[in-house]
């Protein structure tokens, strides 16, 4: 399986993905108390951007060298991530799904998070942390694709059937976080802008905040680097992969 360590993250071009549920790792009582104190303080500081709903964490990653990857996952709630700020606590790795939405002009849709989110002004792809399915239900690639498609339409207004999303890449970055990336069919940039602007207008008319306050269309790492503001650790690697993928798929003239 091709694997690179570029731009600070491990990038895996994956050909198959299996997800296996395991028990949540135990948390010592002292770490639970410290975790809850950190979480409660964070909620007081950002009550609209944090909630303690169910979420998936990564418990391990294995690959066989042929492109097949197995991700072990467990059910927790969002407060579990507060353990990252507890000295001596075990590492906590998230699992998230995102969509690489290319444009016909060669760019990739990147959004800037709004002030009401947990990461204001951060640049990232449309997507979010994976929530666990109902107890007794299997989490699989189709479920991740449905989650990614839902995030795409909620954040950009672009509706794509989850069956049209292609499993594309995995990243392992800060805290060991696992990103599962799907590639969507290309759209004209003008269409993407129109759908995003329609979504913003609808949300504002309803008195709701949008998750992304703007979108940009970098076609290279150089273009991304020229944009000011914080960004997720995987973004340069994914933009670079997009550039290489787009270049290799262009027809010879």
Give the domain range for residue 215: 3-249
In whole angstroms, how large is the CA radius of gyration of the chain? 18
- The one-digit pLDDT tens for each residue of the chain (253 residues) are 455 665 678 998 788 999 999 999 899 999 999 999 999 999 998 887 788 999 999 999 988 777 789 999 999 999 999 999 999 999 999 999 999 999 999 999 999 999 888 788 999 999 999 999 998 889 999 999 999 999 999 999 999 999 999 999 999 998 899 999 999 999 999 999 999 999 999 999 999 889 999 999 999 999 999 999 999 999 999 999 999 987 655 443 3
Domain count, the chain: 1
Residue 239's CATH number: 3.90.79.10
Cα(231)–Cα(226) distance, integer angstroms: 12
Give, for 239, the enclosing helix (H) or strand (E). helix 235-249
Burial (CB count <10 Å: 0-12, 13-18, 19+), residue 161: exposed
Cα(164)–Cα(44) distance, integer angstroms: 40
Q: Is residue 236 within 8 Å of residue 225, measured between CB atoms?
A: yes
| pTM score over 0.85 | yes
Q: Which two tokens stand for residue 126?
A: 């449309």
């Amino acid at each position: 399986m091709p694997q690179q360590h570029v731009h600070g993250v491990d990038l895996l071009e994956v050909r198959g993905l299996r997800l296996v549920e395991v028990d949540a790792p135990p948390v010592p009582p002292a770490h639970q108390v410290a975790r809850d104190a950190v979480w409660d303080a964070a909620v007081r500081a950002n009550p609209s951007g944090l909630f303690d709903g169910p979420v998936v964490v990564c418990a391990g990653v294995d690959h066989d060298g042929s492109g097949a990857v197995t991700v072990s996952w467990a059910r927790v709630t969002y407060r579990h991530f507060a353990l990252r700020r507890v000295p001596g606590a075990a590492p906590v790795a998230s699992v998230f799904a995102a969509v690489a939405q290319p444009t016909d002009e060669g760019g990739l849709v990147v959004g800037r998070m709004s002030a009401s989110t947990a990461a204001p002004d951060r640049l990232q792809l449309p997507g979010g942390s994976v929530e666990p399915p109902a107890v007794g239900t299997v989490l699989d690639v189709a479920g991740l694709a449905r989650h990614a498609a839902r995030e795409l339409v909620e954040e950009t207004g672009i509706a794509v059937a989850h069956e049209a999303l292609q499993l594309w890449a995995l990243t392992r970055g800060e805290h060991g976080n696992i990103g599962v990336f799907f590639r969507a069919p290309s759209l004209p940039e003008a269409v993407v802008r129109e759908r995003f602007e329609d979504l913003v207008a609808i949300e504002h008319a309803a008195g709701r905040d949008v998750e992304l306050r703007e979108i940009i269309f970098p076609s290279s790492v150089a273009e991304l680097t020229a944009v000011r503001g914080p960004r997720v650790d995987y973004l340069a690697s994914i933009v670079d992969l997009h550039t290489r993928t787009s270049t290799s798929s262009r027809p010879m003239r």
